[in-house]
Amino acid sequence: MKKSFLTIIISLSMVVLFTLSVFSAEFPGPDAANIDWNQANGQSIRVMACSRDAITYLKNIVPEFEKLTGIKVAIDDYPEAEFFRKIIIDLSSGNPVSDVFMLSHAYSTMYEAGGWLEPLEPYLENSSLTDKVWYDFEDYPAGSLSAVVINGKLYGIPIAPDTQIVFYRKDLFEEAGLLNPKNMDELYDAAVKLNNPPNHAGVVLRLARGAGTHWPWNGYIQNYGGSWLNTETKRPELDTPQVIAGTEMYLKLLKDAGPAGAVNYSWYEASSDFAQGKAAIFAGDANIFMSLFEDPSRSQVSGKVAYAVLPPAPDGNHAPAAGTAWHWGMSSASKSKEAGWLFIQWATSKDIALRLGVDTTEIMRNSIWQSETLKNKYPTVPDWIEASSATMNQFSGLYRFPRVKEFGPLADIVEALLQEMFLGQISVADGMAKAQAQTLEAMKME
């Protein structure tokens, strides 16, 4: 009797210890940083952000920062399209209200050209502002900074990922005796085979205009060895055979296995369809949709989804589809830059990043991808962790996103033409030739 009581005590305490070790912070919190958090006490900063889970989470915990530093923080967030409009108007006004704002990898070059961005290296290197050992900046996948290192200067700290992975319905694949596709042709065959309207479509992808369709499409042309702009000369290369092949695959998937009305699908329609079991493959979109698909209250496919890196083109692996990121940037006209930097440092520090990452799946740092806390929180989707972190670490100079200041018009040219090609108004070859001509014109090139 006594012995069994002892066993219970021991096993109970072991459970408690185990739980503690799982949920206790893996990384030291802000208190461990060797800087004076109070140095900007009494200042206030405005933060403009694009609405997403990471921002919702930060808004909830920002009182911790205010208590720690005495800095008042006001975070305004807007849906993506509205955010882009607001931030550009704010920054270009010359007297912006935002001190800190979210910086998209796609627009960093444009903002830098306007002189609106503050270089962050001086803050990172200043030992009274940053505890470099505690902050561990080297933890970020090197390529994740490629969009914000411009002319050798650092302009942003990664906050949230845009990492393109593929989502498969495990159960449907098994039923049909299919294996996870190894290349794009296999993906296409599987999509066509699994296309079963009106029960479910073979594949969903974005195709709406103004909904960031250029982003998944860019992964496709890249897989076929194509490039939107030449990485060296910045000259558009939209009429090359590689880009045409990638575009053809993108449109062919939707034509032969896509849902009705695919032309108006934004990420919202695509992810909702997939979550409702209305699609067999979600062929390339943000990895963070995992939290939607695995949430049984919002999804009918939880536990039935396989996650994988976007498969390469059949003729081999070109520059693979890769992750991109959102960053924190600082306005060069801000009057509270120290306070702004303290906020950025706090919000991206390991401890906060872990809490945020585990809660929202918005993860940038390598240490968080490898953390035990994350693995314990999501034990059923190791393939998601693997696919996401693999894709993120494919960030490299090879990532061919047009980092030029004309990006907004360029994206619209491609998206409008993708729809016209999809609806058969123009052939893919002619469409891409037209895209090339329009892009040259928009960039004021001959």
Question: What does the binding site for other proteins look like in residue numbers (CB under 8 A)?
Answer: 85, 88, 92, 110, 113-114, 197-198, 201, 208-211, 259-264, 269, 273, 278, 405-406, 408-409, 412, 415-417, 419-420, 422-423, 425, 442
| Alpha helices, DSSP H, located in 258-381 | 267-275, 290-293, 337-348, 350-360, 366-369, 372-377
CA distance 6 to 79: 57
Pairing state between β 323-330 and 157-169: antiparallel
Q: Is 411 helix (H, G, I), strand (E, B) or coil?
A: helix
CB-nearer residue toward other proteins: 203 or 322: 203
CB-nearer residue toward other proteins: 24 or 151: 151
C-alpha neighbours within 13 Å on the C-beta side of residue 108: 30
* DSSP single-letter state for residue 290: H
Q: In this structure, what are the phi and psi dihedrals at residue 180, rounded to the nearest 5 degrees?
A: -60, 130
CB-nearer residue toward other proteins: 34 or 264: 264
* DSSP single-letter state for residue 310: P
Q: How far is the CB of 204 from other proteins (least distance, A)?
A: 10
CB-nearer residue toward other proteins: 41 or 425: 425
CB-nearer residue toward other proteins: 152 or 198: 198
CB-nearer residue toward other proteins: 390 or 442: 442
CB-nearer residue toward other proteins: 211 or 286: 211
- Asked if 392 contacts 144 with a C-beta cutoff of 8 angstroms, the reply is yes
Q: How far is the CB of 411 from other proteins (least distance, A)?
A: 8
**Of 324, 345, 326, 325, the residue nearest 120 (C-alpha):** 345
Q: How far is the CB of 210 from other proteins (least distance, A)?
A: 4
CB-nearer residue toward other proteins: 61 or 442: 442
CA distance 359 to 64: 17
- Asked if 283 contacts 252 with a C-beta cutoff of 8 angstroms, the reply is no
Q: How far is the CB of 291 from other proteins (least distance, A)?
A: 23
CA distance 339 to 315: 51
CB-nearer residue toward other proteins: 11 or 92: 92
CB-nearer residue toward other proteins: 278 or 318: 278
Pairing state between β 100-104 and 44-50: parallel
Q: Which helix (H) or strand (E) holds 150?
A: strand 149-150
Pairing state between β 279-286 and 157-169: antiparallel
Q: How far is the CB of 111 from other proteins (least distance, A)?
A: 11
Q: How far is the CB of 262 from other proteins (least distance, A)?
A: 7
- Asked if 175 contacts 428 with a C-beta cutoff of 8 angstroms, the reply is no
Q: 107: phi > 0 → left, psi -120 to 50 → alpha, else beta; which?
A: alpha
Residue with tokens 């034509």: 255
Q: How far is the CB of 342 from other proteins (least distance, A)?
A: 30
Sign of CA dihedral 25, 31, 33, 34: negative
Q: Is 32 helix (H, G, I), strand (E, B) or coil?
A: helix
Angle CA 261–224–141, to nearest 5: 100
Q: How far is the CB of 408 from other proteins (least distance, A)?
A: 5
Q: How far is the CB of 174 from other proteins (least distance, A)?
A: 25
Q: How far is the CB of 244 from other proteins (least distance, A)?
A: 18
CA distance 251 to 418: 8
CB-nearer residue toward other proteins: 58 or 191: 191
Q: How far is the CB of 323 from other proteins (least distance, A)?
A: 25
